[in-house]
Structure formats: C-alpha cells, structure tokens
Copies of this chain bind each other. A is one copy, B any other.
Amino acid sequence: MADPTMAQRPAIRPPKIRLFVEGSLAAGARVELSPDQAHYAGRVMRLGPGDALALFNGRDGEWRGRVARLDRKGGEAVAEERLRSQTAGPDLWLLFAPLKKTATDFLVEKATELGVARLVPVFTRRTAAERINRERLRARAVEAAEQCERLDVPEVAEAATLERVVAEWPAGRRLFVADEQGGGIPAAEAFASSPKDAPAHAFLIGPEGGFERSELDALGRLPFVSRVTLGPRILRAETAALAMLACWQAITGDGRSQPPARD
C-alpha cells in the first residue's frame, strides 16, 4: 500500500508507491507527475530517479515504471512493463447529499475504496451545504484509488438537485435509498434479490438531518427505487453510505474476488 505511515518502518515492509497519471501508458511511455505526486514520491516516500513505482491511468491497466525526474514543479516517470490489464470495476453510483467537509472527504475516500464508479452530489431539502468543491473531492478519490489498488478513479459528477437527478434517471439502473425512518426492506434481502431486476445500481443517502418524510415517500413511488433499512441504529449519513456499499459488494458485488497477488 502506498501509505505514508510505511515510510517510518521501511525495514518491516518496503513502501509500494502507486500513482494515478493522466498520460497514456505503454512500454517506454513517459508520463507527467503532478507537483503533489512529485512531493509525495520524493519527500514522503524518499524515491529518486531510477526508483520503481507503479502507474495507472484508468485505461491502460497497471504498469511498473521508474522515476525519471522529481522536482518542485512536478516530475516524470517512464512506464516499463504491464503488471495488470485494465478491468472494468462494478458499475455503482453513490448519490449523496454534501455533508460537512470532513464527513464528505471521508465519504469520498471510503466510497472509492469500496468500488464506486461515480459519485453524484445531490441537494435534498435538508442539505445544509450549498456547493461542493469537485476538484477537492476528485483529489481525495485519486489518493484513495492509488492506495486501494484500484485500476480507475471514480468520476465526481456535477452537483444537482435530487429532483433533477431522479427526473433524468437512466433506464435499467436500480436506486437503493437508505431509509432511516423505518420504511425500508432489510439491505441483505434487497441486495440479494436485485441482480435479477436491474443490470446497474445506485445508492442514495440523505444529509445529516435525514430526508423529509415527503421526500422519502416520493422516492418510494419511483419504479426504480428500493428503500432499504440498515438496522435498528440511526447511522450517520456517511456510515449509512459505507454500510450499503460494503454489504452490496459482499452480497452481490465483487466481494468474492481476492486482492491482486503481490510479492
């Protein structure tokens, strides 16, 4: 794992650094590293020219490469050999009402680890936040993807009202809504039965203050919506999102596959 804490104990486990790049990856291809990545590789992980690192761009799989240059303005790496081919992750969307900064950052990081393909900020009636910083959320998603061995980075959609998002809902995608007001079916049941009824899936969690009753009722009337319950405790919004995603992956998602083999 490319985890800064590892730098303190190199004797125990050599750091594995893995960076997301925009450029195309092929044998001998040179790719740009951002100033942040150059700082992380050079200052935090103590890499220098010639040191090995892993590279991915969401299109060409994962590549072993080497650092070519690192400085304050950024850096450059050269791809050498493909380690893994690109594979499509699960097609999951997470619709979330923007929370307070820390909770939102946390949500984006954890949703990335749990395999979400698309993060969709939605404004509900009780959403306190009025805007989101897409660039910041994207940066959190990139960092989480680098650390969790994903081969892609989730897209961060433009924020929109919940009304507009459901009005433009794509055919064939089922939406699971976390219902903390007791109107849902147990998540395990809802998820176990869903592969039959839709090829693609999405999850929606409300803001800190929850949904308005009328919002939940309106959502419940939509043909593509299933309201799910997550048990007797009232989970915070970000916890509910994680719980739904983790259960989905374990029950019907990719929870049966193993992590990529590493030496």
Contacts and interface: CB of A to CB of B under 8 A. Distances in A.
B186 A256 contact: yes
A209 B259 contact: no
A110 interface: yes
A186 B251 CA distance: 9
A9 B126 CA distance: 9
Contacts of A230: 246, 249-250, 255
Interface string A98-139: 001000001001100111000000000110100000000000
A12 interface: yes
Contact of A208 (B5, B115, B255): B5
Contact of A188 (B210, B251, B257): B251
19 contacts: A1-B234, A5-B128, A6-B209, A12-B125, A13-B126, A109-B236, A113-B239, A114-B235, A149-B233, A150-B233, A188-B255, A188-B256, A189-B256, A230-B246, A231-B253, A231-B254, A239-B242, A242-B246, A243-B250
A261 interface: yes
Q: Is the interface of A mostly helix, strand, loop or mixed?
A: loop
Interface in A222-263: 229-236, 239, 242-243, 246-247, 249-251, 253-261
A51 B132 CA distance: 36
Interface of A: 1, 3, 5-6, 8-9, 12-13, 100, 106, 109-110, 113-115, 125-126, 128, 147-150, 180-182, 186-189, 191, 208-210, 212, 229-236, 239, 242-243, 246-247, 249-251, 253-261
A191 B188 CA distance: 12
Contacts of A9: 126, 128, 209
B209 A128 contact: no
